[in-house]
Amino acid sequence: MPPPRPRALVAWSSGKDSAFALHDVRRAGEIDVVGLLTTLTADYGRVSMHGVREDILDRQAEALGLPCRKVWIPAACVNAQYELAMGEAVARAVAEGVTHVVFGDLFLADVRAYRERMLAGTGLTPLFPLWGRDTAQLASEMVEVGLKASVVCVDPRRLPGSFAGRDFDAAFLADLPAGTDPCGENGEFHTCVTAGPMFRRAVPVTPGVTVERGGFVFADLALADEDSGSLSLAPDTGRSA
């Protein structure tokens, strides 16, 4: 009988890179992914930085067949608060036999170094299955395999705000200005994934209003089978897991 596979969580931002990292490790079959780990901002009930509603996150987790461990942080969260909250979540995971965390990072060396430094000595090993991939090829592969995502946050200092609310598809990639990373790895944009080979079923969403808050342009989404309600979104500088 083969030995049990290492148990891992996926640092789930609700977006395409974490979704594709999950898809990649599932295809490889060497890691047993047992859950998601997501940072949410308590003041808004939304995924930090992405601004995705908690009920959409819950539906994503259901469609992935994975429980979601939620790490709550305050608005305008400082590093010390984030690291305390994440440290508590890490300790709980280790106590439950989790040994690895999967990240969707692509090429930002300082971000990777930060994650490695924060996990050093905790009992959790970081994994970066997408690291170093050509981001133009990776973005095209995401679209080709059927990943569906909406652009929910844009940094207008890096990309025109009109890109907020668009589908992450071939037309979106073709329209990106020169110098924009196709995966938005420099913070140009963030996405919310609603379908793809990593899901058992699609997550039905409907677009809401688009607003500018805290220097970012947010395009709201709501579950399609629920009242979209009103957008309650304030500036959010909390880190996304």
DSSP-based helix, strand, coil % in the chain, nearest 5: 30, 25, 45
- Domain count within the chain: 1
- Domain of 163, in residue numbers: 7-223
Instruction: At 121, list the tokens.
Output: 């000595």
pLDDT at 241: 38
Q: How many percent of the chain have pLDDT more than 70?
A: 93
Residue 237 lies in a domain: no
Domain-located, residue 1: no
> What's the whole-model pTM score?
0.92
Is there a domain that residue 239 lies in?
Answer: no
The C-alpha atoms of residue 91 and residue 71 are separated, in whole angstroms, by 12
Q: Is 229 contained in some domain?
A: no
What digits encode the pLDDT tens for the residues 20-39?
999 999 999 999 999 999 99
Taking each helix axis from N to C end, the angle separating 135-144 and 16-28, rounded to the nearest 10 degrees, works out to 80
Residue 199: exposure state from Cβ atoms within 10 A (0-12, 13-18, ≥19): buried
Establish if 93 belongs to a structural domain.
yes
Whether residue 2 lies inside any domain: the answer is no
21 falls within a domain = yes
CATH number at residue 75: 3.40.50.620
Model confidence pLDDT, tens digit, residues 107-152: 999 999 999 999 999 999 999 999 999 999 999 999 999 999 999 9
Residue 238: inside a domain, yes or no?
Answer: no
Percent pLDDT > 90 in the chain is: 90
List, for residues 49-84, the tens digit of each pLDDT value: 999 999 999 999 999 999 999 999 999 889 999 999
Q: State yes or no: pLDDT of 230 exceeds 60.
A: no
* Average pLDDT over every residue of 181-192: 98
100: alpha, beta or left, given left = phi > 0 and alpha = psi -120 to 50?
beta
